[in-house]
Structure 1
């Protein structure tokens, strides 16, 4: 600090009080700000130190003297903060202002003091200030400041941030723009902030998020997760390179963070937001990437970009973490698969979202227009035949609006022949249909399996002839499905998964054949079957054919003979081992 600056703030101003924690010292510091409205190289250090001291006094005043906040507001000292940030040398001040405010809001305990600071809309003006986010230090302090503010949100304080009259919520809108930042800690801070916002019980604020940001944010978030998963899959395909192992571990941890974040959102039980998020997940990720990757692409597939597909092992691994797709995997028949691929196949590509989040948030559309423009983003309820065929008809009718009458009539006939009253999904069966199936249980045959391509792919993945990698993930998926209490037993019984049934006589013989084959291979000499595979296969087999409560086995003579063969072969192998 120059001699002139010291003189200006000492001889020509007030004398600095001895007690740093007092309203007198705050008045002195306010005088320093008033006498230095312009930031320069000469007074930059002085102003930074002044801002730091002000935060200390305010924290002290929050606990000891309420008049400190009265004086702070009367003098409009937050206005000085904004003025400094907008100046040429504001970069040096911005870091200190953000740091000062962060410390201040972290340590304030009284609601009255908090409301004083949030009044007059100065904090929102600081939030929307055009910071230089190419500066990593500014970005880190800015996001940390926003996250700290989010912890102060409740049903009362939310009105300082969300302006219902102007339909504006800068704290949330500015934060989610950093959802895909390159720094992990910043992404984590944004997720924490969004969760803090969502759990505030304010219907008007939730309506704003739903109308203005939910589809935009969740669609871009799912695209970001999808891109991350494709990169993760690429690393798995090239896992021979030992240099990829650390990256693979980091990518797996990042994926689990995504899963936990999505789970946290769902657990908040905000139905309106959960519906949008579920739609985006189903449309952008679970069906077009996870489910489609179970079946290898062929010439008839509508998926033109192979880079958007996962390796089957990756798909099985990821499906083991998701419990909401059991109906699709188990029940979808060939007709349903073709309908779903018509819905999704042409839009699957290895590309960025159609519109970035910043651009989406910058657009201000009337809600009625937005609903129309976003109709293609609404999830197609593949469990509802009526909705599915109506959607397909509307899509074809829209595409054929400008075509010839002859083409239009042809499309009309195609749709009419496709509209059927029979349900493609077990979940759509009526109670009478379920009861009839329960009384008249049939063996699940190869013909039934061939009609369910996704379930067939899952069964074929149990083949351990070459290695047991896919088998491990397939067994994990099957156990995840069968142990999920939310899955209707009728869905499981429709494919012979009798794990929840007391009468297991109609168990899936094809699946049990595969499990017996795994057991047989596991006791062979120089077996490649790992112990974990043996444990999983045995566990699933017991759930399918053995009633624990009544101690009854429903194994057929054929399968019992195979189990006895495994027992005999394992005994012989054990004897041979001890002879050696």
Structure 2
């Protein structure tokens, strides 16, 4: 545009026509934003943004930011991350100082923005930041009413079942941490936000136990913590669901995982028998992992949930302790002739059994195991070993004539079983 050109504003907003200053001939037509308009837009952002970082007005402002940025892009991802962080801080502040904050949060259904952003395959950076923000938010909220607000509308369950990129170890770590944080909020009142008794659906629990045997130890520990938090909730229908639908496969896989680690430990010890002791790190780590599993099992048995303990004791005795540990001390096989049975060295078997008796004191496990070891009579385990049904769904073992007779003979003749506990 030559010197002397002028701008004539047209009827359309933000549009104008460029004229040559001498001939008044039109040069170009298009959208034009004056310097004043740019300044006005910049000043509106500055003037209308509340000065207080923690206030209801700030939350309203952040809500407007989210409504204008509902699609995650490279250009706005940093803005969205900071917005979600700010919202979490305001909610934590409002939990203790201003109840209107949660009223507005619920009224505008603002939690949907978290779900929408994560559902868009928003990229690793945004995903990690959102999961971290959600964990911090739920970890720091103390008021029960505020918790109910956050758990309403089923958005949390929708977040739990999202298919994120779990091949990324950091994404998985933040996801499991988020689930573990939620599990600490479980009680007889909040359990109904997570467990749907009509649909028989419990995503917080079922999604978490998928990672119980993950290669990363911190993930496994978080899953164990979550399951214990679930088992501690005194809700009959939820516990019935856990026992009837998930306990048998979960404990079966847990026992298999322990047994597989023990076999790998045995192979490692045999291959490293000639190495100096200080180089046998894997062996010492494997023994520690076995001890950790035993303490986890003890925590479950100590909860006093008979149906759950019955399933766990059945799986533990008849799929691990007797067929692998005890039979490794003998030349016999717990399986039919011709079927290969895994074995470990007698030394390792004795060491692991010593750990079992050191940690576990529950009679459902210790008494049958001690009887089998001291008498060599494995007939007590046969009915359970040959029955693959869930113990929660069948009658008590005392209804079995063979087993009832064996236990009666055991209590009458063997002084070991006249004691209340070992």
- Normalising TM by the smaller chain, what interval? 0.7 to 0.9
Deviates more, 1:228-237 or 1:180-189: 228-237
Q: Which residue of 1 aligns with 2:287?
A: 252
One of 277, 280, 290 as aligned partner of 2:312: 277
Deviation at 1:342, TM superposition (A): 11
One of 299, 304, 326 as aligned partner of 1:291: 326
One of 345, 348, 372 as aligned partner of 1:328: 372
For residues 492-536 of structure 1, what are the alpha-carbon distances to aligned partners after superposition, in whole Å with 9 as ceiling and x for unaligned?
xxxxxxxxxxxxxxxxxxxxxxxxxxxxxxxxxxxxxxxxxxxxx
Deviation at 1:9, TM superposition (A): 8.7
The root-mean-square deviation of aligned C-alpha atoms, in Å, is 3.3
Deviation at 1:224, TM superposition (A): 0.5
Report the secondary structure of 2:348's partner residue.
Answer: helix
Q: Is the 8 A contact 1:381 1:387 kept in 2?
A: no
One of 382, 389, 412 as aligned partner of 1:374: 389
Q: Which residue of 1 aligns with 2:298?
A: 263
Deviation at 1:10, TM superposition (A): 7.0
Q: Which residue of 1 aligns with 2:421?
A: 486
The yes-or-no answer on 1:231 pairing with 2:260 is: no
Q: Is the 8 A contact 1:9 1:32 kept in 2?
A: no
For residues 331-379 of structure 1, what are the alpha-carbon distances to aligned partners after superposition, in whole Å with 9 as ceiling and x for unaligned?
334xx56x968996xx9xxxxxxxxxxxxxxxxxxxxxxxx97369999
Structure 1 132/218 Cα, relative in aligned 2: closer, same or farther at 3 Å?
same
Deviates more, 1:227-236 or 1:203-212: 227-236
The yes-or-no answer on 1:51 pairing with 2:84 is: yes
Deviation at 1:11, TM superposition (A): 3.9
For residues 84-120 of structure 1, what are the alpha-carbon distances to aligned partners after superposition, in whole Å with 9 as ceiling and x for unaligned?
1121434332212211110011111110111110011
Q: Which residue of 2 aligns with 1:97?
A: 130
The yes-or-no answer on 1:315 pairing with 2:346 is: no
The yes-or-no answer on 1:137 pairing with 2:117 is: no
For residues 420-452 of structure 1, what are the alpha-carbon distances to aligned partners after superposition, in whole Å with 9 as ceiling and x for unaligned?
x9x6x5x53277x54xx99xxxxxxxxxxxxxx
Give the TM-score normalised by structure 2: 0.79
Deviation at 1:186, TM superposition (A): 0.7
1:79-98 to 2 correspondences below 5 Å: 79-98=112-131
- List gaps (5 residues or longer) in structure 2: 1-37, 358-365
Deviation at 1:283, TM superposition (A): 1.9
1:28-67 to 2 correspondences below 5 Å: 28-67=61-100
The yes-or-no answer on 1:429 pairing with 2:409 is: yes
Deviation at 1:328, TM superposition (A): 1.2
Whole-angstrom CA distance in 2 between matches of 1:181 and 1:277: 20
Deviation at 1:486, TM superposition (A): 1.3
Q: Is the 8 A contact 2:244 2:393 kept in 1?
A: no
Q: Is the 8 A contact 2:314 2:384 kept in 1?
A: no
Structure 1 430/40 Cα, relative in aligned 2: closer, same or farther at 3 Å?
closer
For residues 528-553 of structure 1, what are the alpha-carbon distances to aligned partners after superposition, in whole Å with 9 as ceiling and x for unaligned?
xxxxxxxxxxxxxxxxxxxxxxxxxx
Report the secondary structure of 2:356's partner residue.
Answer: coil
The yes-or-no answer on 1:168 pairing with 2:148 is: no
Q: Which residue of 2 aligns with 1:69?
A: 102
Deviation at 1:304, TM superposition (A): 3.8
Whole-angstrom CA distance in 2 between matches of 1:116 and 1:375: 38
1:178-217 to 2 correspondences below 5 Å: 178-217=211-250
Deviation at 1:25, TM superposition (A): 0.6
Deviation at 1:163, TM superposition (A): 1.0
Q: Which residue of 2 aligns with 1:17?
A: 50
One of 252, 262, 273 as aligned partner of 1:219: 252
Structure 1 119/240 Cα, relative in aligned 2: closer, same or farther at 3 Å?
same
Deviation at 1:216, TM superposition (A): 1.1
Whole-angstrom CA distance in 1 between matches of 2:391 and 2:61: 61
- List gaps (5 residues or longer) in structure 1: 348-371, 389-420, 439-480, 488-580
Q: Is the 8 A contact 1:37 1:84 kept in 2?
A: yes
